[in-house]
Amino acid sequence: MNRLYETSILSNTKIKYGVPDDTLLIHRDVNQFFPETYEILEDGRVNFCLYYPKASKVEMKTIFGCDFKLNKEGEFFKGAYDIGKGLVGVSLFVDENETISPYLPIGYSGNRALNYIDIPDGELVLSENIVRRGTLNIEYINSDVTNRQERIAVYLPPTYLAEEEKRFPVLYLQHGHGENELVWYHQGKVNFIYDELIAKGKAVPSIVVMCNGMYYDENEKGIDLIISKFGQFLLKEVIPYIDSNYRTIADKKQRAMAGLSMGSLQTSMITMTHSDMFDYVGVFSGFVQDLLTGTTEHIKEENLKAFMQNNKLFFRAIGDKDIYLEHFKSDDELLTKYEIPFVRKIYQGRHEWNVWRHCLNDFAQMIFKGV
């Protein structure tokens, strides 16, 4: 079975809250049972049944820009709607106040908790009947780089506990902007994807390490996101810690790094300046060139030439409707100019988890066994 040891899904970001509107509060007997909050119908629509007895209006908005108004039926608000496929983030508005429903799945995005619905897309099918499941551990490191305690999520393949002498390759997998180290588990289904691929013999059993890449500097001008600090944390503290505390194969040939969106930029910056550390690199819906801060150190000619010589697989993928598709094409030109080979895939979708799951699913089948 997958086991998760954690204290909270939320990051350490401090958020100030105002006084809640009384209509948002749900007062009920803890032993009182309600109908299912949502149900995915055979035609793909989602049938909602939300309990807000004091509210007069409940609306829902998806991350894809669709708005739905639920119908009041007594103390419940109901409605069946087509909200899309795959993982769809939803914002709930009760009498025009945005709130989080405790009865819908909760993930993390945009530096905050977010409700979501996961509708099977019919393409990436993850079986619930896998006999041997991996394990998800939560580790804590007191970091000298970040000056705080850092939480790390570590996926262990099913054979890790069963074969006590065996060592495993490691994939360092990063989230995007406004997310944290648990989103690849909660929203990305990294454990289900790897369990499925391993069970079918399509992926090499591997350890997957996920860290928080959101680091800020507070100064007189405000709060600035520092993209580069994660590289120091990963190279100086995380990799040595993982190699010391888990049965890894501590070798470049058995080490990979990948990330989505902001995490893909961190991946490019780290692997292109330390190409002697990673054989396999994955950029999901993201960037070689730094469009956030304009940093160019990692794409200097000497770094790109070293990367070309040292890299075994450079996997790049994006959705066909991604807002950063033109930037992705610009990276094509840069890599072609320096004759850096890469595997390039375009999926159907936007800047979203439905694409990133497919990215991981394909990338995991290519690493640690030749291309």
The structural domains of the chain, ordered by start, are 38-119 (2.60.40.10), 135-365 (3.40.50.1820)
% the chain with pLDDT above 90: 67
pTM of the model: 0.87
CA gap 263, 295 in Å, rounded: 15
Q: Which residues pair with residue 141 across a beta bridge?
A: 150
Query: According to the model, what pLDDT value does residue 241 have?
Result: 97
Model confidence band, residue 9 (pLDDT cutoffs 50, 70, 90): very low
Confidence of residue 363 (pLDDT cuts 50, 70, 90): very high
Question: CA 306 from chain center: how many Å?
Answer: 29
Angle between helix 301-310 and 262-273 (nearest 10) = 90
* pLDDT tens digits for range 311-341: 999 999 999 999 999 999 999 999 999 999 9
- Identity of residue 118: D
Q: How distant, in Å, are the alpha carbons of 279, 286, 300, 335, 366 from that of 331?
A: 20, 9, 14, 6, 22
∠ CA 40-46-51, rounded to 5°: 105
Determine which of 147-161, 165-179, 292-306 has the lowest per-residue pLDDT on average: 292-306
Q: Give pLDDT, residue 8.
A: 33
